[in-house]
Amino acid sequence: MSEVKEKQEKVLVEQDDEKKSPKTKRKRESEERSVNYEEVKNSRGRSPDPEPSKRLKYDTEQNTKDDTVSSTVDSNKEEKESLTEEVCNDNAIIVAKHYNSLENKNLAQRNRSRIIYLRNFNNWIKSMLITKFVEEIKSKMNHGSRMKVLDMCCGKGGDLFKWKKANISHLICIDLAEVTVQQCHDRYKDLLKRNASQRNSLFSAEFITADCTKVRLRRKFEDPSMYLDIVSCQFAFHYCFESLQQAECMIQNASECLKPGGYFIGTIPDAYDLVSRWQKCDGNSFGNDVYNVEFFCDKEKPPIFGAKYHFQLEGVVNCPEFLVYLPAFKKLALKFGLEMVLFERFDDFYDNMKDKDKQLLNIIQALEVYPPRDGPPVGDPDRDYQHAKEYLKMYPNYSQIGTLSKSEWEVTSLYAVFAFKKMKTVWNKDGEAEYVNS
Ligand SMILES: C[S@@+](CC[C@H](N)C(=O)[O-])C[C@H]1O[C@@H](n2cnc3c(N)ncnc32)[C@H](O)[C@@H]1O
């Protein structure tokens, strides 16, 4: 039985601020004003079987090795210090090559995608996560002060507009893939041009090509003594779980850039959910018509680091990714003075945040209107909308609702948001850093 949300909402859809013409915007606004638009979450779109026993299995089995994490972490300290940008393995090359070769799709091409709503929904989640922690920091800042931010693994700059909205003063964008960094820089220049006539100045920015898992990032900043309020790492942190060294380097980078009280935030695939689905299936591969995951490691005992899988979305084979074993992530983070304050699957985060900015949910079309106004739905009309049909049957007063196809829910519910707060550093008598809550 589908989980059905009972709350009614009248939704007025506005057009995407950045990209769509005012003409289309007015057209859509007038069309949408007459729609009773309900948010419906498809519970079957959660993990097909987030069976607690399976989830626990991964947890407890790995916990025995958890102490190994800290001792290995300590013994690797000196080795880590010597890491330089010259260190480069095949995986970094594969990742950079993959992202460098991705086509820069225009709006029309993106709108034709089978997973357009999934992409928009993920974007909404990022916006809400960023807003939540921007507000948190602003509430403690002096009036008129503005934030400084690091976008780690920034990609093509999909979050630039979010930082503009947050009215930050400076942004550092870093990514492994050179072409991607250039595209991000070009996008920033466009934003700068469009902002020229506005009263509020756009944030300043710097763009760096670097491997966040191998290089001390602070040394590359224009001002290496700068402290930041937020480090954001969206849909990319999982690459560092290839090895302990890389995970440590990435976390240390996040931590040492932050002021006490600053936040390290991000989005990652939820390892428990991935493992749960994997253990349910025969073999090493599972998915649906929009995604496929294939594992390349021991199914019984996936390693803490280097638990490799390929994630294929809309037919495009992605580069190797790695499970982020949560207890290890938390432990390493704490070692560098980062305390976990949030870890929530997307579907739970959506439940908690959806009432905070329904307008944005509609502006960016994060949910599909069902039944569609014209044409077929993006998913399979027979298989993908059972939950929506049941809802409409139960509430005959509504003519349309906002939802995602079952296949897309199955993808988005694989992901989770996280946030860590930077603790205050105190130096002990041996000259070593210790961390205390600020
Ligand atoms: C899925 S994209 C996400 C881009 C962006 N954060 C977003 O949310 O739109 C992942 C990005 O991580 C970058 N990346 C992967 N491994 C990296 C590493 N070790 N150091 C820096 N960037 C990396 C890739 O080049 C790619 O641009």
Query: In a mutational test of the pocket of ligand 1, which residue from 85, 91, 95 has the highest number of ligand atoms less than 8 Å from its CB?
Result: 95
User: Which tokens in the block code for residue 114?
Assistant: 């089978």
Q: Whose CA is nearest to atom 26 of ligand 1?
A: 155
Integer Cα distance of 427 and 421 in angstroms: 19
Nearest CA among 317, 329, 325, 323 for reference residue 278: 323
Residue-level pLDDT at 316: 73
Per mean pLDDT, which range of 15-24, 159-168, 221-230, 362-371 is the poorest? 15-24
Residues annotated in a binding site: 122-123, 126, 153, 175, 211, 234, 239
**pLDDT tens digit string along 287-328?**
999 999 999 999 999 999 999 999 999 867 678 999 999 999
pLDDT-wise least confident of 18-27, 358-367, 391-400, 421-430: 18-27
Burial of 346 (0-12, 13-18, 19+ CB in 10 A): buried
Q: Count of alpha carbons within 13 Å of 89, Cβ hemisphere only?
A: 11
Distance 39 CA to ligand 1 centre (A): 31
- 180 CB near ligand 1 (under 6 Å): yes
Contact of 206 with 223, CB cutoff 8 Å:
no
| pLDDT score of 378 | 92
Give pTM, 2 decimals: 0.83
Distance 100 CA to ligand 1 centre (A): 10
Ligand 1 centroid–CA 438 distance in Å is: 31
Average pLDDT of the chain to the nearest whole number: 82
Percentage of residues of the chain with pLDDT beyond 90: 65
Residue 211: CB within 6 Å of ligand 1? yes
Q: How confident is the model at residue 60 (pLDDT cuts 50, 70, 90)?
A: very low
C-beta 215 within 6 A of ligand 1: no
Q: How far is the C-alpha of 20 from the C-alpha of 103, rounded, in Å? A: 20
Ligand 1 neighbourhood includes 322 CB (under 6 angstroms): no
Ligand 1 centroid distance, CA of 154 (Å): 6
CA of 109 to the centre of ligand 1 (A): 22
Mean pLDDT of 189-198: 90
Q: Specify the length of the chain in residues.
A: 438
Q: What is the pLDDT of residues 107-160, one digit of tens each?
A: 666 667 889 999 999 999 999 999 999 999 999 999 889 999 999 999 999 999
Identify the band that residue 230 occupies on the pLDDT scale cut at 50, 70 and 90. Answer: very high
> 231 in ligand 1 pocket by Cβ < 6 Å?
no
pLDDT at 18: 35
